[in-house]
Every structure is written in C-alpha cells, then in structure tokens.
C-alpha cells in the first residue's frame, strides 16, 4: 500500500515537473533584456509556448495586462502599443513560467546590412572608429550583432544579444552603422537600436528570399553565374533565411545597406535585383520600410566598366519610394583599396537621408546632385542637374572624368562651364555632340559637386 502511495506521489511530482518544464514560455534572442523597441508604433512580441497556453504580458510604460492564447503549433504573438521615446522599462511575460525583461528602451530601430564595407569595424584598422573609444560609451545606443550564419530555410531565431555601446562593443560592430546611429540619436534625442546583419563578399542574391530569385529568369540566370568562394555563401536566400528572417517580426524604422561590389560582374540585373530585395523585405516586415544605401566607391576592378554599370543600376533603384542613395566618390583616396576607410562620413550621409526623408528634420545637404536632362545647342550640350539648389562647384582648375561624344560614339575629354545648376559641356574635337559621360569608369573620381558639399552622382546620357 505504502509503495503504491509513494509511486502515485512520485508520478504526480514527475508529471507536474515535466509539464511545467515543457510549458515554459520562450522568447527569440531579439526579444530580450536591453532591447530597443520602435517608438510610437505597434511593437510585436512573440515566442513559443504550450499549444493553447494563455500568456499574460505587462509593460511598465502603461501597466496594462494584455493576453494572448498560444496557437496549436505552440507559437504566440502579441502586438503592444509603444509610447514616445524613453525608458528604461520592463516587460513581464507570465505563463507556466515568468520572464521579466529589464533595461528596455523605446526609440528608433534600424537594420544595417550588406557586405564588407558595412561589416567593417575598428578591428579592420579604422582610425576614425578608434578615435571614438574614449567617448563612445552610450546606454542610449544599443547593438544587436547577428553572427554570420546560413540556412536553406527561413529561421525563427538567431544567436545574438543586445548590448549598450562602449569601446569593447564598438571594436567589432559596423562602423557605418555606429556613425549612422550616433547621428540619429544626437539629432532626434532618442535611443537608437542597431541590428547588424552583414557578411563581407556576399552578393545581394543571398540576402533576397530565394523564391523571388527563382521565379525571375533574369535574376536566376545572374545568380547561377555567381562564383562560389570559400569565405562566403553564394546561394540565393541563404543569408536572408538565417540573418534577416529571424528579426522580420521585430518592428523597425527602416534599413541601411552597403553592398554591390560582389555583383559587379552581373551588373546588368542589379537594379532589378535590389528593387526585388527591397520589395521582399517590405513584405516580410509588412511595412513600407525606408531603405537607404551606399553607391559603391571607385575601385580598379580590372575589367571594363562593370563597376560603372553597377553604379548606374544603383542610381536607377533609387527611384523606388522611400529609398535613397549616398554617393561617396569624393571620400576615396586609394582606388586600389576596395574598402575606403572613411566610414564616419558614410554613416553621417546615410543619417542625413533618414533625417530628411523619414523624420522630416533635414537641416543640411542630404541628396547628391544628379543629372536630370540634356539639350543640344550648336556645338555644346547643356546638362540640367537636379538637387543643386545653391548651384554647382568645380574643385580644381579643370574638370576630371567628363567626356563628350558625337554620332561616331568616340568620347573625348570635355571642357566645362558651370552656370548655376547647369553644366555647359563641349570639345573642339566634337562638332555635333550628342552624349556626355561623367565618372563613368571603374576607378575614376570626378570633381564636380553641389555647393552644399555633396558630389555629383556619376552618370551617362547615352545608352550605348
């Protein structure tokens, strides 16, 4: 009899212990202590639980108890309204167990992605980042650094954690992302959370869901021509699945992107590819997702004009709503180095786009001048340039990287006269000019800028 009673008690204890352990509500890595939630939005909280389990969530900014019932698949998701920027706050999540998240800030959250020029940190030997070490400690600037990982299928979690900015964290965090976030936080006076998902050498295809690439013949052909390497993946979707998909339920303000060098040899499809990727990300986040990116820098690639075509494709992609392109040709001092070291100005220029276009607080130049239209007048061509409200400026005694051609399609170095926001272009060798190219080469660096300081974007007026 006593043995039976002991057995029943043991069975009851074991059942209770097993049930409690199995029923423990769990959270993805991005929902954790020290996270930054997007302000004045509907922030999504989610995780895993027992099927049909009730979960109760209390946020310290409104002390309201919200509840959600787990699905039959053991998942749960709850959207909570967030106030204006502030904190620190706590979130209490109670089910079979209780989780209390602490040190939460509410502010602006951005995804920072791309290849090596986005990945570059102080460990790559960046002096402008190292100079930040004595003053960079800032609890209002927080990093979520997703490690390099791939997957054949979209994942629902990743191995990363939130951390406040300090010299130790900054050593291995994206310099471009840091300077971008620093500028936003200073200008907006709010906490900023930065999610880094970058991998040097990767093509844009690996950051695009594979179904979008596979369904498009042109994109699939370009993807099939990517050359495998030992240091990065080349299969469409592999980085998206492991490094982007896990955070797509997390509410963000937008994304910044620095990539393109690994797509130079397939430049012809890059505008379509980037547009496709942006649309895919916006659908995944179910939001218009502002998207600002960096045009690749001048570099001696060693093959004919492929980089010029890639930059042209990047410029074309900027015509999408809520997108913007940063031109950085003026920041390059060594065209034999594919990794320009001036990352603080790149971050600040991306921040200028976000401040003007997303936050409507632009107080400085943020869009580079760009070629808009052309008219012929005798032996001259008159080029009208947009976004040069104070006019254009030439650095140095003569123009660089400017060429003009007639019907024979032979380009000659051009003469230039600037009249406000117009370029008057001619050459004694071309009597009836019809086309102009500016900085249309792999490594050429021009010297025309707006008087506000930003360089004129590279362009060609022909489609030869």
Domain termination site, one of 302, 336, 358? 358
Q: Which domain holds residue 396?
A: 370-460
Q: What predicted TM-score, i.e. pTM, was given to this entire model?
A: 0.94
Mean pLDDT of successive 10-residue stretches along the chain, which has 464 residues: 43 39 82 98 97 97 95 96 98 96 98 98 95 97 98 98 98 98 98 98 98 98 95 98 98 98 95 98 97 97 85 93 96 96 97 96 86 96 96 96 98 98 98 97 96 96 95
Same domain, 380 and 406: yes
Q: How many domains does the chain have?
A: 3
Look at residue 304 in the predicted model and tell me its pLDDT: 66
User: What is the four-CA torsion angle of 21, 24, 28, 32, rounded to 10 degrees?
Assistant: -110
At residue 15, the pLDDT reads 38
**Residue 7 counted as domain residue:** no
Residues 333 and 375 grouped into a single domain: no
User: What confidence score (pLDDT) does residue 365 get?
Assistant: 83
| Inside any domain, residue 272 | yes
Residue 1 is assigned to a structural domain of this protein = no
Question: What pairing do the DSSP bridges indicate for beta strands 422-426 and 415-419?
Answer: antiparallel
- Concatenated DSSP letters of 350-381: HHHHIIIIISS---S--S--EEEEEEEETTEE
Look at residue 10 and tell me if it is in a domain.
Answer: no
Residues 169 and 280 occupy one common structural domain:
yes
**Residue 364 included in any domain:** no
Kindly state whether residue 16 falls inside one of the protein's structural domains.
no
In tens, the pLDDT along 245-282 reads: 999 999 999 999 999 999 999 999 999 999 999 999 99
CATH code where residue 310 lies = 3.40.50.1110
- Cis-peptide into 154, omega within 30 deg: no
Q: Is 150 helix (H, G, I), strand (E, B) or coil?
A: coil
Which one of 358, 387, 407 terminates a domain? 358
Domain boundary among 81, 104, 127: 104
Q: For residues 47 and 262, give the distance between their C-alpha atoms in angstroms, rounded to a whole number.
A: 36
Same-domain status, 260 and 117: yes
- Taking only the tens place, the pLDDT of each residue in 18-41 is 333 445 899 999 999 999 999 999
Characterise 260 by phi-psi region: left (phi > 0), alpha (psi -120 to 50), beta (else): left
Assigned domain for 18 exists: no
């Amino acid at each position: 009899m006593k043995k039976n009673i002991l057995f029943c008690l043991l069975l009851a204890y074991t059942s209770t212990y097993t049930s409690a352990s199995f029923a423990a509500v769990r959270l993805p890595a991005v929902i954790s202590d020290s996270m930054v939630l997007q302000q004045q939005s509907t922030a999504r909280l989610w995780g895993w639980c027992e099927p049909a389990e009730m979960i109760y969530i209390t946020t310290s900014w409104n002390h309201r108890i919200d509840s959600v019932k787990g699905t039959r698949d053991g998942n749960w998701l709850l959207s909570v309204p967030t106030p204006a920027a502030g904190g620190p706050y706590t979130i209490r999540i109670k089910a079979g167990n209780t989780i209390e998240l602490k040190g939460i800030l509410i502010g602006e959250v951005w995804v920072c992605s791309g290849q090596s020029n986005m990945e570059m940190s102080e460990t790559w030997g960046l002096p402008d980042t190292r100079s930040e070490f004595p003053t960079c400690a800032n609890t209002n600037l927080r990093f979520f650094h997703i490690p390099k990982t791939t997957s054949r299928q979209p994942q629902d979690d990743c191995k990363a954690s939130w951390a406040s900015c300090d010299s130790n964290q900054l050593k291995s965090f994206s310099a471009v992302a840091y300077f971008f976030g620093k500028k936003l936080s200073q200008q907006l006076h709010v906490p900023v959370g930065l999610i880094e998902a970058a991998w040097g050498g990767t093509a844009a295809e690996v950051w695009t869901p594979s179904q979008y690439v596979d369904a498009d013949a042109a994109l699939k052909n370009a993807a099939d021509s990517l050359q495998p390497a030992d240091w990065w993946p080349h299969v469409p979707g592999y980085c998206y699945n492991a490094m982007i998909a896990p955070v797509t339920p997390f509410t963000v303000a937008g994304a910044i992107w620095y990539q393109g060098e690994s797509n130079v040899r397939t430049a012809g499809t890059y505008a379509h590819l980037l547009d496709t990727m942006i649309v895919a990300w916006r659908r995944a986040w179910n939001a218009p997702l502002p998207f600002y990116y960096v045009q690749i820098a001048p570099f001696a690639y060693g093959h004919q004009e492929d980089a010029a075509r890639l930059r042209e494709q990047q410029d074309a992609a900027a015509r999408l709503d809520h997108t913007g392109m940063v031109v950085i040709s003026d920041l390059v001092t060594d065209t034999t180095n594919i990794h320009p070291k001036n990352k603080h100005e790149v971050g600040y220029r991306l921040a200028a786009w976000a401040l003007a276009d997303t936050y409507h607080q632009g107080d400085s130049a943020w869009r580079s001048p760009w070629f808009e239209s052309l008219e012929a007048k005798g032996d001259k061509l008159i080029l009208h340039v947009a976004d040069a409200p104070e006019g254009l400026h030439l650095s140095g005694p003569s123009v660089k990287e400017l060429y003009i051609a007639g019907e024979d399609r032979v380009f000659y170095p051009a003469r230039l006269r600037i009249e406000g926001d117009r370029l008057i272009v001619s050459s004694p060798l071309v009597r009836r000019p019809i086309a102009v190219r500016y900085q249309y080469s792999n490594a050429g660096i021009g010297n025309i800028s707006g008087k506000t300081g930003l360089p004129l974007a590279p362009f060609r007026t022909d489609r030869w």
